[in-house]
Amino acid sequence: MRLTRSALACAAILSGTTLGAPAFAAPAPTQNPAASAAPAAPANPNPLIASVDGQQIHLDDVKRAAANLPPQARQLPASTLIGLLVGQLIDQKAIQIQAYKEGLNNKPDVKSQMQEAANSALQNAYLSEKVTPQVTEDAIKQAYQTNYASKKGEQEIHARHILVASESQAQDIIKQLNHGADFAKLAKSASTDKGSGASGGDLGWFKKGDMLPAFSDAAFKMKPNSISQTPVKTQYGYHVIQVLGTRVAPVPPIEQVHDEIRQQLIRDDVRKIVTEAQSKVKVVRYDAQGKPIDPNAPPATAPAAPASH
What is the C-alpha separation between 57 and 212, in angstroms, rounded?
A: 56
What pLDDT sits at residue 24?
28
What pLDDT sits at residue 20?
33
Specify the amino acid at residue 46. N
What pLDDT sits at residue 306?
55
pLDDT in tens, 61-116: 999 999 888 888 888 888 888 889 999 999 999 999 999 999 999 999 999 999 99
Mean per-residue pLDDT of the chain: 86
CA distances from residue 46 to 13, 61, 207 in whole angstroms, order as listed: 10, 9, 53
Q: Collect all residues with Cβ–Cβ distance below 8 Å to 206 and sequence separation of at least 6.
A: 156, 157, 159
Identify the band that residue 249 occupies on the pLDDT scale cut at 50, 70 and 90.
confident
Contact 95, 87 (CB under 8 A): no
307 vs 1, which has greater pLDDT? 307
pLDDT in tens, 146-203: 999 988 888 999 999 999 999 999 999 999 999 999 999 999 999 999 999 999 999 9
Residue 301 has pLDDT above 80, yes or no: no
Residue 37 has pLDDT above 70, yes or no: no
The dihedral formed by the CA atoms of 168, 171, 175 and 177, expressed in degrees to the nearest 10: 120
Specify the amino acid at residue 142. Q
What is the C-alpha separation between 2 and 114, in angstroms, rounded?
A: 33
The helix (run of H) or strand (run of E) holding residue 207 is strand 202-207
End-to-end CA distance of the chain: give it in Å, rounded. 81
